[in-house]
């Protein structure tokens, strides 16, 4: 075991894992995170806490993770490279470990122009792949980026993202390989809607044996309205929503029911794809639906390890 987190235990055991996402509030309320913890605790193995997603200022990921942890949820702390340099990031990692956080997901971060502080200066002192490598060296060699020794243990289960739908398609597996080589223990992919294209990507992944070197969780974003489907198709960076999904949402009598149905169907198809070790459900602002989706997809109860 690298960190001994619940997520690591489930993945190492070979069981099909379920993770969810909890966005921290645009404010100071601990109760918001506590409520999300209550909702997600029994239906997923770990919960990601986003790091100022889409560059909108929210409660810090570190604080959000601590609040989830206090409620018995295994948190996945997301770190983006947009807002902090290598000094601040390493400092936060030490603090997170001291507070009992073991899973960290390394991301580049959406450009600040998407958020509510578009005039801010971005940092990008390091990129996501360099962050993965830095965390691996912190854990395995107990060294900071500069080479100085870290005192104490550094138990970390290191995650990274992958987007099979970004350009160039043939390079996306190479990029995943770079992340795995850098030290990614688990991968959470961008939302899947086009299952055929995803399966083709996974075929390339398994051909290279990457699914044996890391645990791949397929991303699922439940859509709750036709407007959200159109918005995600047209404006959300990195997400690819096919027109047929948008049409299906537009023609639905009950959009929420349809959206949950789409998510359940997707999970059922994803379960069958060789090399997939779990699903990552990102119900942005619609966490209430997660228990139902997990239940309908036949993934309850979650293992207790």
Partner 1 sequence: MIVAEQKSLAEIRQMITPYQRVLILGCGTCMTVCNAGGEREVSFLHNALRLAESRSGNGIHTFSEYTVKRQCDYEFLDSLVDKIGDVDAILSLGCGIGVQAIAERLPDLPVLPGVNTSFMGMAEEWGVWDERCAACGDCILAETGGICPITRCTKGILNGPCAGTKNGKCEANKDMDCAWILIYKRLERLGQLDKMRRYYPLRNFRTIPRPRRVASKASIDVGEGNG
Binding site for partner 1 (CB under 8 A): 81-82, 86, 108, 110-111, 113-114, 122, 124-130, 133-134, 145, 161-163, 166-168, 171, 174-175, 177-178, 181-182, 190, 237-238, 240
Least distance to partner 1, CB of residue 49, Å: 19
DSSP classification of residue 104? E
Least distance to partner 1, CB of residue 117, Å: 14
Instruction: Compute CA 22 distance to the chain's CA centroid, rounded to the nearest angstrom.
Output: 10
Least distance to partner 1, CB of residue 110, Å: 7
Instruction: Compute CA 83 distance to the chain's CA centroid, rounded to the nearest angstrom.
Output: 18
- In the bound state with partner 1, the residue whose beta carbon lies nearer, of 88 and 113, is 113
DSSP classification of residue 293? H
| Cα Rg of the chain, angstroms | 18
Q: Measure Cα distances from 254 to 25, 248, 251, 265, 286 in Å.
A: 28, 11, 9, 16, 15
- In the bound state with partner 1, the residue whose beta carbon lies nearer, of 12 and 166, is 166
Least distance to partner 1, CB of residue 53, Å: 13
Least distance to partner 1, CB of residue 50, Å: 15
Q: What is the largest CA-CA distance in the chain?
A: 61
Least distance to partner 1, CB of residue 105, Å: 13
- In the bound state with partner 1, the residue whose beta carbon lies nearer, of 5 and 90, is 90
Instruction: Compute CA 82 distance to the chain's CA centroid, rounded to the nearest angstrom.
Output: 17
Scan for tokens 């909890």, then name that residue: 22
- In the bound state with partner 1, the residue whose beta carbon lies nearer, of 68 and 191, is 191
Helix axis angle, 255-271 to 243-251, nearest 10° = 140
Helix (H) or strand (E) holding 220: strand 215-220
- In the bound state with partner 1, the residue whose beta carbon lies nearer, of 134 and 262, is 134
Scan for tokens 């639906």, then name that residue: 289
Least distance to partner 1, CB of residue 111, Å: 4
- In the bound state with partner 1, the residue whose beta carbon lies nearer, of 41 and 86, is 86
Q: What residues pair up with 279 in beta bridges, in sequence order?
A: 18, 218
Here the tokens at position 135 are 């965390």
Asked if 90 and 133 count as a contact pair (C-beta separation under 8 A), the reply is no
Map residue 75 onto helix, strand or coil: strand
- In the bound state with partner 1, the residue whose beta carbon lies nearer, of 210 and 297, is 210
Helix axis angle, 128-140 to 86-98, nearest 10° = 50
Least distance to partner 1, CB of residue 92, Å: 17
- In the bound state with partner 1, the residue whose beta carbon lies nearer, of 187 and 299, is 187
């Amino acid at each position: 075991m690298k960190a001994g987190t619940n997520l690591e235990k489930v993945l190492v055991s070979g069981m099909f894992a379920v993770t969810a996402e909890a966005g921290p509030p645009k404010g100071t309320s601990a109760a918001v995170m506590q409520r999300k913890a209550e909702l997600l605790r029994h239906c997923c193995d770990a919960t990601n806490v986003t790091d100022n997603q889409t560059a909108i200022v929210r409660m810090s990921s570190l604080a959000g993770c601590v609040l989830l942890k206090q409620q018995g949820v295994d948190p996945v702390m997301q770190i983006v490279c947009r807002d902090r340099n290598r000094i601040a990031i390493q400092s936060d990692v030490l603090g997170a470990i001291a507070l009992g956080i073991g899973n960290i997901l390394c991301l580049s971060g959406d450009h600040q122009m998407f958020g509510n502080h578009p005039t801010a200066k971005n940092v990008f002192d390091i990129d996501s792949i360099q962050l993965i490598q830095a965390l691996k060296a912190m854990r395995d060699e107990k060294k900071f980026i500069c080479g100085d020794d870290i005192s104490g243990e550094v138990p970390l289960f290191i995650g990274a993202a992958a987007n099979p739908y970004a350009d160039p398609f043939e390079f996306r597996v190479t990029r995943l390989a770079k992340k795995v080589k850098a030290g990614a223990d688990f991968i959470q992919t961008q939302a899947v809607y086009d299952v055929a294209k995803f399966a083709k990507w996974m075929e390339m992944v398994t051909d290279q044996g990457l699914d044996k070197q890391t645990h791949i969780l397929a991303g699922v974003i439940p859509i709750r309205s036709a407007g959200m489907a159109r918005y995600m198709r047209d404006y959300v960076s990195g997400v690819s929503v096919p027109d047929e999904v948008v049409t299906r949402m537009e023609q639905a009598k009950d959009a929420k029911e349809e959206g949950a149905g789409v998510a359940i169907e997707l999970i059922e198809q994803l379960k069958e794809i060789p090399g997939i070790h779990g699903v990552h459900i990102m119900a942005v602002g619609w966490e209430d639906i997660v228990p139902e989706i997990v239940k309908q997809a036949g993934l309850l109860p979650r293992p207790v390890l």
